[in-house]
Amino acid sequence: MTGLGAVALGAAGSVVGASSAQAAPVAAGSKDVTRAETVAELAGLRAREGELAIVAGYHAPGDAGLLVYVGAGEADTAVNGGTVVAGKRHTKWVLLHDGTVDFRVFGIIGPETAADDALDALVNDPAVRRIEAQTDLLFQRRHVFTRSHIEIDFGGHLVTTEGIEPNTADNPFGAVMFFTGVAADVVVEHRLAEPWAELTDAVAVPDATPFAVDTWWAVQCDEVAGGGRDERELQRFVQVTQQLDATHIRVDYLNGWPLDTGRRLTWRRMEPVVGVRIANMRFLGAGPFDGPTDGSFPDPRERTGSHPIAFEYAVHCDVADVHASRTWWPVIMRRWNTHFTTERCSVENPPTVFYGGAGYLTQQIYSLYGRVADCTSSNARHLNDLTASAYCIVENCHGDGDDQGGNPFTTHGQYEHDLTFIGNSGLMDIANSGAQWGTAAKRITVRDHVCSWFVAGTKISDLTLENVRVIGRSTFDPQATMTINADGAQVRGCTAGLLAIGQRSARSSRPTKIEDSTFALPKDQVLVQTPVTVPVSFVRCTIGGIDGTKARGSGPVEFVDCRLSGPASGAPFELGASRVTIRGGTVRDVLLSATAVRDQLIAVEGVELGTERADVALLSRAAGDGVVTWRLSGVTSTVANGAAHADIGAGVNHARITGSQFVGGRLRLADGFAEPSTLLYSDSVERGVETTVPEAGDRVLIADVLSV
């Protein structure tokens, strides 16, 4: 090697590591070195065992860097035109490299020649640990790999796929590069002999012997009884971490949903792909880009379209700095993945945002422990979709152009749990894909999010929202909608227009509470929907636009230190809850009316009420059959002449009005307190009030009322 020096050692194929053929080295100082201008010239030379050859380029000197080959004689290594070059008389030249090889070694100097053969040769060569691209590339096949521990860096160059082979139907794994694990042909199916409790990692199995430590399994439970046809609480890719005893194992997953005795589990052992990293690619999907605009079937683009990356049964497989446009299926498709990152990636202008599963940046199905960060989408369907996944985080991701029909952030509703979204922007729709999958999720946390639409009204337990701002947009949702499920939802420091609280599940042990938040309701908004049976508390909230607003649910509703207001001509706030408490704060131009559709308790304590409207009543009730119990304490109410502080003139009522002050207007209590109603009115002050009360007697006590 005397005389080669650093030029050869630093070349594209450097003399540092062993070749794929493990050729014998040449002793230092040997003069047995061959020189060639091109690989074609090298192919015309006989390769003697151990002979070194220096090649100036592939097609021409310098086009692929300086290449160093070693003669492998008549070794049985397959010729591929790059890392293994055919020599004269059936001999072979094998590229010497340190594990890093770029496509130019195969003569791929640009997109004029498809790079598919080179990709196959490099990925399937165990001596290659890193693949680099120094030019734009063209791929025309859909590759399936089972290789682990390899990095593919496209160097920021453009990858195109015009003329790519057709995909099969409904196949988001028909990517240019699909890395997948391999089944180990071991399946264990059994019914649970004992419950698998929530947030535990130990599970009963018939026999722990097949479950060796560090083996990987795709495990799923049977369908939920009476549920959708794909409704399962458990679909995860897990590793066995311990054999506890003959019939118990531990896995690397805290179960998110409890499974009772008798539920059926199916375990499939897999040999995963591990440690794959794909980075620094610009990708342009294959055309045509025009087709049905409504997502209707058939759409031939699902076969002709292309996307770059898919992983299945994958561990620690990461993607970074991939920027794609006009892709059909998700740019990065994952299923049965765990411990992964997707960062600094983007998608823009996919051919459709309506065809199911198409037009995404990334989708994760049955996945664990993922991180999606610093990604963007424009005019796409979903930036991020977490389906039947858990313990993942999405951070600093931003989607725009969602007027086009997609929404950047979604989960499928297939029993996701423990997902966290921080510092993102764009529409969000959680667990809303349909009853077929269960529309269920648990412990979803969203912080510091900005969007014009936020929908989380399905079977979502323990939803936590902090500093979520929903800002109306005339081109999409001018009402700035936020919907939540009253099953342990906690909302803090949020802003929205339309707020709708429903209830479709009852799993949580924590209260539903909305704190320090601001809402501007549209007319006739149903704030608390009929199915709500649990308590709902508003604390230090500002709620405007109360005009025909309705709280229909039977569960208690509480407003603590809130500011409630309505327009000057607004319709009454219809209160249908079994218990309504307004404690502290102010109520301005809001007419509170008990619906009396059921027995009710209306408690107004320490509140400032007021209106400048005439011929209205701040407190009233409808003529329903329910018995209404009124508790007014420490109230300060100021109304204009002609208006009433309270007008209780129908049904059965039991009222206790104490320690309050009424200014102006009227107080009408006479007609609503016939037998068997009761009234205690005491320790209060009336200033300029026209008062109508029933005669004192066994059921009516009026005492210590100062009237001025």
- The 10s digit of each residue's pLDDT in 179-190 is 999 999 999 999
**Which residue has tokens 């009929």?**
530
Q: Please, which residues have CB within 8 angstroms of residue 689's CB and are 6 or more apart in sequence?
A: 645, 662, 663, 664, 665, 666, 667, 707
How far is 474 from 692, CA to CA, in rounded Å? 49
Q: How far apart are the first and last CA of the chain?
A: 113
Q: Which two tokens stand for residue 683?
A: 């320790």
pLDDT tens for residues 361-408?
999 999 999 999 999 999 999 999 999 999 999 999 999 998 776 799
**Contact yes or no for 676/655 (Cβ under 8 A):** no
Region 249-265 average pLDDT: 98
**Model's pTM, two decimal places?**
0.94
The least confident of 119-123, 470-474, 630-634 is 470-474
- In terms of DSSP H, where are the helices of 504-550? none
Ordered DSSP codes for 230-269: T--S-EEEEEEEEEEETTEEEES---SS-B-TT-EEEEEE
What is the per-residue pLDDT for 405?
A: 67
Coil, helix or strand at residue 221:
strand
Q: Is 623 exposed, middle or buried (0-12, 13-18, 19+ CB in 10 A)?
A: exposed
- With a CB cutoff of 8 Å and minimum separation 6, the contacts of 127 are 17, 18, 19, 20, 97, 99
Q: How confident is the model at residue 29 (pLDDT cuts 50, 70, 90)?
A: very low
44-71 pLDDT per residue, tens: 999 999 999 999 999 999 999 999 999 9
Per-residue pLDDT averaged across 441-451, rounded? Answer: 98
- pLDDT score recorded for residue 31: 53
Nearest CA among 370, 392, 372 for reference residue 384: 372
Flag whether pLDDT at 9 surpasses 70.
Answer: no
Q: Please give the helix or strand (H or E) that residue 631 lies within, else none.
A: strand 628-633
pLDDT of residue 679 exceeding 90: yes
Q: What is the pLDDT of residue 28?
A: 42
Distance separating alpha carbons of residues 519 and 516, to the nearest angstrom: 10
Alpha-carbon distance of 184 to 207, in angstroms, equals: 18
Whether residue 10 has pLDDT greater than 80: no
Residue type, 611: T
- What average pLDDT does the chain have? 94
The tens digit of pLDDT for each residue in 579-607 reads 999 999 999 999 999 999 999 999 999 99
Is a pLDDT exceeding 90 seen at residue 21? Answer: no
DSSP 408-464: SEEE-SEEEEEEEEES-BS-EE-S-S-TTTT-EEEEEEEEEEEESEEEE-SEEES-E
pLDDT tier at 207, thresholds 50, 70, 90: very high
The DSSP result for 359-382, as a single string, is SEEEEEES-EEEEEES-EEES-SE
Q: What is the mean pLDDT of residues 458-487?
A: 96
SS3 state at 13: strand
